[in-house]
Amino acid sequence: MSNPLLEDHELPPFDLIEPSHVVPAIETIIAGNRAFLAERLDAGACDYESLFRAMQERDDRLMRAFSPVEHMNAVVNTPALREAYDKCLPQISEYATEFRQNPRVFEALTTIAGGAAFAELAKADRKAVTNGIRDFRLSGIELPRDAQARFARITAHLSELGSRFNNNVLDATMAWSRNFPDESGLEGLTAGALAVAAQTARQRGERGYTLTLDFPCYQPVMAHCHNRQLRREMYEAYVTRASDLGPNGGEWDNSETMNEILALRLEQARLLGFENFAEFSLATKMARTPEEVLGFLEELATKSRSRAQQEFDEIAAFARKEYDAAEIEAWDVPFYAERLKENKFAFSEEEVRPWFPAPRVIEGMFEIVRRLYDIEVRPVGGIVAWHPDVTTYEIVRNGQVVARFYLDLYARSGKRGGAWMDV
């Protein structure tokens, strides 16, 4: 059976990738990479081109096979795909740690860095070598063998825990919904939000309007719905997802997962001689110490808190005066903030919305990009994506296509929430 993950494609063939392809492809590529590395080392390869760059290319092949799978797991999640993805995580983690704990490769890297030919390498290649040496050390290459083995086990388990955490959040988000047979109880909700809720109900085979915790549904309810009890119910469901509290408390509880992640991170950091995981994490970042990071955050809080308090006091005073609201809770703030904005500035997002449909906003954004960076972003057809809602574009500079990207704007079942990007 052909396997699209083992074939060369300019862009991932998302329409051909099935869960059954995933594990065989990743196992095949990892086995091939291990055999290639052994052959290179046995042949005495120790220079940049024949060893380090060659292995970078092999590892890139692994990531080009796994990245589409990882992405699909986040945007069109299914039980079968999740199972295949989770089976691959420890294998990839084990392979990566095994490579970075290989003393022969580390010796070759340090030899390259100390050799006369190092200065003749391109700047990017020199950076790759020095980063490689750093990453080998951060993977425990200089630890005793038993500590190396423990480090490898922790790394593999942390990848599994990270996936479990994300799965729990997604499952908890999708588990909550509330159906209304008509608009009773949804007073104040905008026409756009009602249309989304009606579409969700139709997709689920339900009557009327169905609310979910997807942010495009959640945010309009919090900002516009007059039903305070509903706002409270949705707020509590949203902020307690994947915890021991809330309407699904304990069902997808991430508490123990987080505790285990923190404990393993601390152990991993101390194996390498760091005081804590923050120090370990900063070894590859621009900030130098945890104190530097905390100082920045505390300064930011100090400078912003007074303004935030002033804005909250203004919202609370408005709510008391105009709505006789005795107390302001977290689920009230977005609602009264929106009313204050309408009262103070005669501005309603719902009135403005028809003038800013998504295609026009996207077109305007790309025009700004053209003026700022002298590049053209234009739609391109014929590219297979993972869902019909996805649109595709190419970036052109001086008449040449230099990049392409996918745009996946809309929330849906099985898709991780938030605004984010992927490689």
Give 105-126 as a DSSP string.
HHHHHHHHHHSGGGGGS-HHHH
pLDDT of residue 263: 98
pLDDT of residue 376: 97
pLDDT of residue 351: 82
pLDDT per residue over 292-326, tens digit each? Answer: 999 999 999 999 999 999 999 999 999 999 999 98
3-state class of 408 per DSSP? coil
Q: CA–CA distance from 198 to each of 76, 183, 281 (Å)? A: 22, 10, 45
Residue 1 scores a pLDDT above 80: no
C-beta atoms surrounding 421 within 10 Å: 7
pLDDT of residue 181: 97
pLDDT of residue 153: 96
**Res. 354 pLDDT band, cuts 50 70 90:** confident
pLDDT of residue 47: 87
pLDDT per residue over 89-130, tens digit each? Answer: 999 999 999 999 999 999 999 999 999 889 999 999 999 999
pLDDT of residue 62: 97
Percent pLDDT > 70 in the chain is 100
**Res. 377 pLDDT band, cuts 50 70 90:** very high
Q: Where are the domains of the chain?
A: 4-142, 177-239, 356-407
Q: For domain 4-142, give the CATH superfamily.
A: Endopeptidase. Chain P; domain 1 (1.20.1050.40)
CA dihedral 55, 59, 60, 65 (to 10 degrees): 150
pLDDT of residue 343: 93
Residue 224 scores a pLDDT above 80: yes
β partners of residue 295:
none
The set of residues, in sequence order, having a beta carbon less than 8 Å from that of 376 and lying 6+ positions away, is: 366, 370, 395, 396, 397
CA distance 85 to 68: 11
Whole-number mean pLDDT of the chain? 95
pLDDT per residue over 165-206, tens digit each? Answer: 999 999 999 999 999 999 999 999 999 899 999 999 999 999
pLDDT of residue 328: 95
Mean pLDDT throughout 209-233?
Answer: 96
Residue 291 scores a pLDDT above 90: yes
**Res. 369 pLDDT band, cuts 50 70 90:** very high
| Helix count and strand count (H, E) for the chain | 15, 5
Residue 237 scores a pLDDT above 80: yes
pLDDT of residue 239: 97
CA distance 111 to 66: 32
pLDDT of residue 40: 93
Mean pLDDT throughout 385-390?
Answer: 96
pLDDT of residue 419: 87
DSSP 273-285: T-SSHHHHHHTTS
Q: CA–CA distance from 348 to each of 231, 341, 352 (Å)? A: 20, 8, 7
pLDDT of residue 374: 96
**Res. 29 pLDDT band, cuts 50 70 90:** very high
**Res. 283 pLDDT band, cuts 50 70 90:** very high
**Res. 34 pLDDT band, cuts 50 70 90:** very high
Mean pLDDT throughout 399-405?
Answer: 96
pLDDT of residue 348: 81
Residue 402 scores a pLDDT above 90: yes
